[in-house]
Amino acid sequence: MKRATFQEAILAAAERVFAVKPFNNVSMRDIAREAGISHAAIYRYFPDQRSLFIEAFLCGAREIIGFLSEITAKSEKGDIEAVASAYIDYLIENDQYFRMMTHFMLDGSLTPEMIEKLNIAERKIFDHFDIMFRKMGMSDPVRPLSHAFFAGLHGVLITFKNYPGRDRPAVRGHIQKIAAVLTDKFKCNVKNS
């Protein structure tokens, strides 16, 4: 098997394991077992668990950036509601990426190289938010608005993701409702500027 194919198989296995277990409870042995390879073989491709974790997250980040790119390209006037709804739906459906992103935001033990990889992916997400705010008529600098929007969406997800006494569809509906309130506030900010 070629190196790239082997790495992809390991990353796919890691994503499956991260989807069902928190990062701190996942071992390289768990991932090796899921990938159907020896524990030692993983270390030929990834020096440690954090490196593997970051590469698995970056796979999801590329998907997020891809669909944000599609939405921003299609929108003439900045459909911030579509961006918020799609972003939240993606992170609800792909909870492992949301948990990874949250872990990275709170974890202070990453190397500078790892932090830079994450920052590059995050900046690409912000770039798409920037595009939408500019299409809505907001003048530069829009990056602080994009930061606030990103933080707001993540705050909604963190606050209501495990809403007690509600099933998954009700939780999703509630999160989307609160995100709609958030986007309305951002739209008002644009109208008043």
**What distance in Å separates the CA atoms of residue 109 and residue 117, rounded to the nearest whole number?**
14
Q: What is the mean pLDDT of the chain?
A: 86
What pLDDT is recorded for position 187?
Answer: 80
Residue range 159-165: mean pLDDT, rounded: 86
Q: Pick the residue with more confidence: 109 or 54?
A: 54
Q: Give the Cα-Cα-Cα angle 41, 46, 51 (nearest 5 degrees).
A: 150
> Are 7 and 59 in contact, with CB atoms under 8 Å apart?
no
* pLDDT given at position 105: 75
Q: Quick: pLDDT tens for 50-73.
A: 888 888 888 888 989 998 999 988
The pLDDT of residue 38 is above 70 = yes
Structural domains of the chain, with CATH: 1-46 (1.10.10.60), 48-191 (1.10.357.10)
pLDDT of residue 115: 86
Residue 161: what pLDDT?
85
Which pTM was predicted?
0.84
pLDDT confidence of 190, banded at 50, 70, 90?
low
Q: What is residue 149's predicted lDDT score, i.e. its pLDDT?
A: 94
Calpha distance 107→77 (Å, rounded): 37
Q: Which of 30, 28, 57 is nearest to 44 (CA)?
A: 28
DSSP 3-state of 55: helix
Q: What whole-number distance in Å separates Cα of residue 105 and Cα of residue 121?
A: 13
pLDDT of residue 101: 80
